[in-house]
Amino acid sequence: QKEVEQDPGPLSVPEGAIVSLNCTYSNSAFQYFMWYRQYSRKGPELLMYTYSSGNKEDGRFTAQVDKSSKYISLFIRDSQPSDSATYLCAMIYMFSGGYNKLIFGAGTRLAVHP
Amino acid sequence: EPEVTQTPSHQVTQMGQEVILRCVPISNHLYFYWYRQILGQKVEFLVSFYNNEISEKSEIFDDQFSVERPDGSNFTLKIRSTKLEDSAMYFCASRAGEIETQYFGPGTRLLVL
């Protein structure tokens, strides 16, 4: 079973639509969950960061974590063409020595058309 | 806003050659990383670096790879003898504290011919 699974899409929506992006994970030890946005041939850019279960809102973006289901979501309201990018979920994996790394999903390609 | 920078943006090299990829992390950050992304695949962890030594590394990070922080600002990834399968985007990342988010640079696209 893969540690982090994410539907690669592509997802195509009209401008103004609500977008739902999702990831599932297998490691119940994950506590920190991130969403990164990656434009073509650029580095991942941090969008949102959530600790444990619950919701977090930032403007048009809402991140949800359901640890009982090992499921995380990113919702984009009133989507804009500028939101067209690949969205990567990522989780912090803690090494035994206290250091950590990010484990990424495959990324979902989103296209918002005018 | 502070950001991670990387040079060069693109590098083309012949198989067997050495390459050095350079990164300037955010200035007050303490933890440094290299990740890579082979075209069409996931971003994957290579190595983390703290207090002037490697803290963790993946199975990908074999003896052909090394990292260094030669001065107070630069962080480098060296590939001693490049292989075709080293062709990828290489991202540097840094973070400030123990459970802080990682900030990524724009990447270096490495093509090994």
Digit-coded pLDDT (tens) for B53-101: 999 999 999 999 999 998 878 999 999 999 999 999 999 999 987 667 8
Domains of chain A and CATH, by start: 4-113 (2.60.40.10)
Q: What's the average model confidence in pLDDT over A6-21?
A: 93
Q: What is the CATH number of the domain that holds B43?
A: 2.60.40.10
Q: For chain B, what is the domain count? A: 1
Hey, are the CB atoms on B43 and A45 less than 8 Å from each other?
A: no
Mean pLDDT taken over chain B: 93
- The whole domain housing B70 covers 5-112
Q: Are B47 and B34 in contact (CB under 8 A)?
A: yes
Residues of chain B neighbouring A46 (CB-CB closer than 8 A): 101-104
Residues of chain A neighbouring B98 (CB-CB closer than 8 A): 98
Complete DSSP assignment for B27-85: TT--EEEEEEE-TTS-EEEEEEEETTEEEEE-TT--TTEEEE--SSS-EEEEESS--GG
Q: What is the pLDDT of residue A18?
A: 97
What does DSSP say about strands A54-58 and A61-66: parallel, antiparallel, or unpaired? antiparallel
Closest residue in chain A to residue B91, using alpha carbons only? A43
The residue assigned the tokens 């062709």 is B87
Each residue's pLDDT tens digit, A57-80: 999 999 999 999 999 999 999 999
Q: What is the pLDDT of residue A17?
A: 97
Residue B46, pLDDT above cutoff 80: yes
Q: What is the pLDDT of residue A90?
A: 95
pLDDT confidence of A1, banded at 50, 70, 90?
Answer: low
Say which amino acid occupies A80.
Q
